[in-house]
Chain A
Amino acid sequence: MPVHGQVKIRTSAEQKAARERERAEKLQLYLTEYESILNNRQLTDLFALLKQTENTLINHPDCFTLWNIRREVILKLDNDKQKEYLQKELQITQLCLKSNVKSYSCWNQRQWCLKQLKENFDLNLYQNELQLCQKFLEIDERNFHCWAYRYYLLEHLCPSSSSDIETFYDNELTFLRSTIGHNLSNYSAWHYRSKYLDKLLEHNPIRRSNLLLKEWELVLNAVYTDCSDQAAWFYLRWLLFKQLGVESITETEHIKPLEELDEIESENKWCMLALCQLWKEKKINDDKRRNYLERLANHIDTDRAAFYRDQI
């Protein structure tokens, strides 16, 4: 222990009190700033307003009104200034996103900036944004804001020539496959996979049976690996009923593997539900279907009893 002066260590009660003090100070500061901004809103010194709102937003990125005010101000600027400030805006939102990666208003602001800049479409800009998305996804691969933003970017980056489009879609599907490979609970990844699969099939219907076969293998792999993960099951049902269509569903290829899974995992509600829906569409195993639905309603998933009974 040191020789100079007495050393005291804060107790947890004191730590708590210190934290409370800090929070109260922060709140006070925010309220003062906020009031001041609202008062200044109608004044002509636009740049000062931008500065003020910027300072506040960096600490409190979720304040819708402040972002609104910024949009108002930027639109009032003339064209060259506007472009410059839109670029700056992107940097500011990036700073704010650091403190809250899931801020609705930040992502919204970014998208608004890109929309404003769209007249001078800059490939580099969009590529940079894509890189940024990549970084954010590395931090949290299930950040749905980031996914939605990425989707928006890809819409604009989509090439126009027919041959390029297919490669573009294929690349995206490969990326989604590897994301799912890291974590098959990634609902966003499965969701966007369904979107891109749709697009690809629309663009090139010849590949349909091949692609759908591969998809079926993929999703079957997923539900066998983790039969309680709902993301995979939702995708499975979409694939069967919305993509393949009832006529293309066969007993050997589709129903049997699920029945086998059901044998190993007899109380799995997802598997049972999927089977009930399949049996219904194919008009087979009606007794078994009713039995399963009863069991689901009465024992296995009683919270959703009415849902199951409706299907009987």
Chain B
Amino acid sequence: MFEGLPREYDVIVVGTGMVESILAAACARNGKTVLHIDTNEYYGAEWASFSLNGLIEWTQMQENPKIDINPQDDTEKILPIGNPLNVFRNVELKWNIEKTNEQTTTTENESIKPITLDVLEKQSRKFNIDLTPKLYYASGGLIDLLVQSNVGKYCEFKLVSRLLFERNGQIDNVPSSRADIFNSNDISLIDKRLLMKVIMNCSSMAIEDLNEEHDIPFIEYLKKQKLNDTLCHLIINSISMVDYNASTKEGIIKAKRYLDSIGRYGNSPFLYPLYGNGEMCQCFCRLCAVFGGFYFLRFPLAGFTIDSLNNQCTGIVSTTGERFRARDMVICNNSFLESVSSNKNVIHRTVLFTNKSIKSSEKEEVTYLRLSAQNKTGIHIIEVGFGPGCAPDGFFLLYIFQESSSENTDEIIEQLLRLTGDNFTRDNILGQLTFDQVDTMSTSSSSSTLSKLIVTHGPDGSIDHDSAVEAARNLFYEIYSNREEFLARAPDPEDIIIEGTDNTDETNNTDETNNTDETSTINTATDDTLATKTNTDTEAL
């Protein structure tokens, strides 16, 4: 099984989640030899996206039998892995539709045959369902990283075209740009001016400008600017996206991030990747492979090898006893360590399969709705459909999750249905997936009791990736100290000269990937979910 696969590397990375993939790419980019493995047969781990059938399979996931490995001598200890799928609990998939239509003899009314599960399953590949849905701030950490490192050329995005908030028992569009405010008929002239003033202030304020007068809670600061309740709610909920008890400093910094992101690629601050969030991990893995990283999915991992004399992690061992050595470091996702099962913090996630958008529109939209109120944490609701390639035409995915879970999923759905009224009802919900995802961020520490074992965490309940990018960057500098560059821009093909030829437009080494087995490929030719352009809705990255 491991024929041809080298046994020694600078770095071994276990798990193909976001933080691990960014780290693997950064190490390979700097010339380190990398072995990147995952026990799953797909990329992305907790961040993966699935077709419909893939998701159904995932909900029925099996636990692999544990195999005990004996240490090969006195200097070695073995740390067995836990089941990484233990980060998911209470996985439930319920359908409100029939499995299939009976073959009746009726010839009437073919058009009003209710939709059945087998019809959806036939279109399985048109679904791309995220385990961890997230949005990308146009001027945020991850997009900047994609642009800076040139990994952006492996992916395509859509603008999150519609931002909604709750107003007077209904859902309305968020006016956040000058054009939105100008065109709004719901805001008085004076309120328009006051709102614009606050927005311009937040945009132009630098961190150094914040002083004592900003020590008050954000809601009080906004009231001081003479904004009415609706506008305060607009800014807190939909522009800053903080809780009601947030400080002014936090409110302004987050508002600034939102406002800085508007206009970069269009009239909205957020992007959503074509074919779902799972693509992102694959893009970084691709970069790693391009720079010589080795990939192995469905790796039969038993545990980590440890040098018992100095308590240092030295590598990994497979269930068949083959050992792979890491000279510098082993990077491993939290979910592989047994301790995860004791963790109490969870993120409740819900995916609704629907046949109608929560708010009608003439064109395809990617929608983000944030609900919040006093004393409640924000609820993120993302709707994607045919536009970003996540569902067949006429169907939608509705993702619901909270920063820190305080509310019951059913209550949230009730609240949403009250807001959408007749436009979108329970009948439009064809199926529902709910699961709990352990929030490993709070328990992760970059140093375990073992040296040379770096532990990374999974996703949190926020809407963006900044914590993952920051974590990857910080861990990289910890391993290699600040002298090395983190994900430098990969050179453009025109700038690569191959010595020995006069010709300066030799291609670079994008075609050279290092494959081992049939089970591990990142080959671009086969996978139709990898796009190679960088076009967003309006502009190129």
Contact = CB atoms under 8 A, between A and B. Distances in A.
Interface stretch (B306-314, B316-324, B489-497): B489-497
B189 A264 contact: no
Given A1-B291, A1-B292, A265-B193, A181 B183 contact: yes
A183 B177 CA distance: 10
A2 B495 CA distance: 15
A224 B496 contact: no
Interface stretch (A6-14, A67-75, A79-87, A237-245): A6-14
Contacts of A181: 179, 182-183
A224 B497 contact: no
Given A225-B193, A260-B190, A184 B179 contact: yes
A182 interface: yes
Interface in B498-536: 498-501, 508-509, 512
A105 B196 CA distance: 41
A6 B497 CA distance: 8
Contacts of A4: 498
Given A15-B495, A181-B183, A220-B189, A225 B178 contact: yes
Contact of B498 (A7, A220, A225, A226): A7
Q: How large is the interface on A (under 10, 10 to 19, 20 to 34, 35 or more residues)?
A: 20 to 34
B515 to A, nearest CB: 15
Interface in A253-280: 257, 260-261, 264-265
Contact of B196 (A5, A9, A15, A226): A226
B193 A257 contact: no
A276 B181 CA distance: 28
Interface in B152-199: 178-179, 181-183, 189-190, 192-194, 196-197
Interface in A177-215: 181-184
A90 B196 CA distance: 45
Contacts of A183: 179
A227 interface: yes
A6 B181 contact: no
Nearest to A181: B183
Nearest to B511: A2
A222 interface: yes
A131 interface: no
Nearest to B497: A8
B503 to A, nearest CB: 11
B189 A257 contact: yes
Contacts of A227: 193
Given A183-B179, A226-B196, A6 B189 contact: no
Given A6-B499, A222-B182, 18 more contacts: A1-B31, A2-B509, A2-B512, A9-B491, A9-B496, A9-B497, A10-B494, A10-B497, A15-B495, A181-B182, A184-B182, A221-B192, A225-B181, A225-B182, A225-B192, A227-B193, A264-B194, A264-B197
Contact of B495 (A1, A10, A220, A224): A10
Contacts of B179: 181-184
Contacts of B181: 225
A260 B193 CA distance: 11
A260 B192 CA distance: 13
Interface residues of B, number: 27
Contacts of A226: 178, 182, 196
Contacts of B178: 184, 225-226
11 contacts: A1-B31, A2-B509, A2-B512, A4-B498, A5-B501, A181-B183, A184-B179, A225-B178, A225-B181, A226-B196, A261-B193
A224 B291 contact: no
B182 A264 contact: no
Contacts of B508: 7
A221 B193 CA distance: 9
Interface of A: 1-2, 4-10, 15, 181-184, 220-222, 224-227, 257, 260-261, 264-265
Nearest to A227: B193
Given A1-B292, A181-B179, A184-B179, A264 B190 contact: yes
Contacts of A260: 190
Nearest to A11: B495
A229 to B, nearest CB: 9
Interface of B: 31, 178-179, 181-183, 189-190, 192-194, 196-197, 291-292, 491, 494-501, 508-509, 512
Contacts of A220: 189
A89 B280 CA distance: 47
Given A184-B178, A221-B182, A224-B192, A7 B500 contact: no
B498 A5 contact: yes
A270 to B, nearest CB: 13
Contact of A8 (B183, B190, B292, B499): B499
B193 A5 contact: no
Counting from the closest, the 7 A-B pairs by CB-CB distance are A10-B495, A224-B189, A6-B499, A225-B182, A2-B509, A5-B498, A9-B491
A257 B193 CA distance: 12
Contacts of B491: 9-10
Contacts of A261: 193
Contacts of B189: 220-221, 224, 257
A1 B292 CA distance: 6
Given A8-B496, A9-B496, A1 B183 contact: no
A8 B500 CA distance: 11
Contacts of B496: 7-10
Contact of B509 (A1, A257, A264): A1
A182 B292 CA distance: 47
Contacts of A257: 189
B498 A9 contact: no
B401 to A, nearest CB: 34
B79 to A, nearest CB: 33
A202 to B, nearest CB: 28
Nearest to B509: A2
A11 to B, nearest CB: 9
Contacts of A9: 491, 495-497
A264 B500 contact: no
B509 A6 contact: no
A309 B31 CA distance: 69
Contacts of A5: 498-501
B46 to A, nearest CB: 32
B292 to A, nearest CB: 6
Tell which of B189, B190, B291 has the most Cβ of chain A within 10 Å: B189
Contacts of B183: 181
Tell which of B181, B183, B500, B512 has the most Cβ of chain A within 10 Å: B183
Nearest to A185: B178
Contacts of B192: 221, 224-225
A6 B506 CA distance: 12
Tell which of A6, A7, A222, A227 has the most Cβ of chain B within 10 Å: A7
Contacts of B498: 4-8
A9 B501 CA distance: 14
Contacts of B512: 2
